Structure 1
Amino acid sequence: MNTKLLSALTATAAATALFGAGAPAQAASFGANGIQFDKDTTLLFNFKQSHGMYQSSLGIYSVDNSAVSLVKTLFSETKSSDNQWENEWKGTLGNTVLGGSEVFTFLANKIYTLGLDSGWGGSVYSTSSLNSGSQQAVFGGHSQLWSALDKESTSTFQAAGQFTNGLGSLFNGGTLIGLDDRGNSNDSDFQDFTVSAEAVPEPMTMTGLALGLGGLVAARRRRASKTTS
């Protein structure tokens, strides 16, 4: 590989890395202390499973001085579980929840929260302060959370109450979010409704990569033309 081509490749990689590296710096908070970003940020949410005995829906709410307003419903159960109490009221995609993926853009500097409405005792929120300080959600990309999925025992999620921040994994493989609906005497199992969230790459990142590759191709064509002439 000649020196000019290597330099062009290096410049392209550096530009792409620069655009991509800026993404995590956008985020201000994504966890039990609230959801807020410094720039408009788009996330992809995927339903994983539910274990609540009530028919629930999960939505995104805006927060203004502790007043919450529904902005978008992400996922709604068509029934409380796949087969009533079996497997701890387990609900799965295509059976209990029909739509499995949703995209939402969080506007810069606005405060949001996730809210789980179980239809029996009001809503709980992923922001602890909106639950009078009670933690009703866990966030994290840790294997302890992911390994608890599809398990009949709630012990792993019960031990995961320490996970209050999903920011680090949001831009690196995705964050798992588990909420507890306060049923069963508020057992804090955090698996009554579980979803994942991950950041969608900014258009600028893909544009930077395309421009870099386009410039590389053009440079190679110019060199080829000079050689043949």
Structure 2
Amino acid sequence: MNTKILSALTATAAVTAMLGAAAPAHAFSFGANGISFAQDQEVEFNFLESHGAYTSSLGIYQVNNSVASLVSTLFSETKSSDNGGANEWRGTSGNTVASGLVRFTFLANQVYTLGLSSLYYGNSAGTVYSTSALNGGSQQAVFGGSSLFGALNLEKTNKFGAAGSFTNGLTSLFDKGFGTTISFDDRGNGNDTDFQDFTVTAEAVPEPMTMTGLALGLGGLIAARRRRASKAAS
């Protein structure tokens, strides 16, 4: 391959990689203070497990003037657990909720929150939000990397004392392969704040920037080479 072309391709790839690395800067909030993005951002959610006798559904709500309105339901439990009270009323994908991943596109400059609505033997047990301000200031969801899920499972007391340390999932949202863990406390069992009642992961879907950038770079190189060949021929 021509040395000049190879150098240009390398430079194009480097610029494209830098653009891809800058993608997380698009987001400016994804945590207990709210969810919002500076540009449209697609996020993939994956249900991990639930605990407790409540039958719950997790949705995305748009927030206007401190009022949350449901815009999309991500996961809905058809029953409270896989097998009654076994394993602390544990529910898993394919049993309490349909298996598979769900994607949602957050629109630029809109304010969102996640909301967990629960039923207890058919009666409403209320809704808690991932945005603490919508719960009257009470934190009902924790955000963190993959290590958070292990920390929750290893918690020995009824309360997850480190909750205040897990308020921002933005830094891990763009981690490829897992993203950030989001886990709710539904205020059941006397609001035990164990944050194990409904757990999902969220991972930002990357923009198709790399291949587009390379294609543009190759197109420019081919056009430049044709112009040089045309000048030489004339």
Shared fold, TM over 0.5: yes
- Structure 1: stretches of 5+ with no match in the other structure: none
SS in structure 1 of the partner of residue 186 of structure 2: coil
Query: 1:156, 1:186 → 2: CA distance?
Result: 10
TM-aligned CA deviation for residue 153 of structure 1:
5.5
SS in structure 1 of the partner of residue 91 of structure 2: coil
Instruction: Give the structure with the higher percent strand.
Output: 2
TM-aligned CA deviation for residue 134 of structure 1:
0.4
Query: 1:67, 1:28 → 2: CA distance?
Result: 21
2:130 aligns with 126
Query: 1:75, 1:202 → 2: CA distance?
Result: 25
TM-aligned CA deviation for residue 215 of structure 1:
6.1
Range that drifts further, 94-103 or 155-164: 155-164
Q: Is the contact made by 1:52 and 1:192 (CA closer than 8 Å) also made in structure 2?
A: yes
2:81 aligns with 81
2:141 aligns with 137
**1:163 aligned onto 2:166:** yes
CA RMSD, aligned part only?
2.5
- Structure 2: stretches of 5+ with no match in the other structure: 230-234
1:199 aligns with 204
Q: Is the contact made by 1:75 and 1:100 (CA closer than 8 Å) also made in structure 2?
A: no
TM-aligned CA deviation for residue 10 of structure 1:
1.8
Distance 1:181 1:7, change over 3 A: same
Range that drifts further, 36-45 or 157-166: 157-166
Query: 1:2, 1:146 → 2: CA distance?
Result: 51
Q: Is the contact made by 1:83 and 1:90 (CA closer than 8 Å) also made in structure 2?
A: yes
Query: 2:166, 2:49 → 1: CA distance?
Result: 19
Range that drifts further, 55-64 or 113-122: 113-122
Q: Is the contact made by 1:15 and 1:209 (CA closer than 8 Å) also made in structure 2?
A: no
- Percent identity among equivalent residues? 69
Choose the corresponding residue for 2:185, options 180, 193, 196.
180
2:103 aligns with 103
What TM-score, normalized to structure 1?
0.86
Distance 1:213 1:172, change over 3 A: farther
Query: 2:11, 2:220 → 1: CA distance?
Result: 10
Q: Is the contact made by 2:52 and 2:80 (CA closer than 8 Å) also made in structure 1?
A: yes
SS in structure 2 of the partner of residue 146 of structure 1: helix
Query: 2:42, 2:205 → 1: CA distance?
Result: 6
Give the number of aligned pairs: 219
Q: Is the contact made by 1:52 and 1:81 (CA closer than 8 Å) also made in structure 2?
A: yes
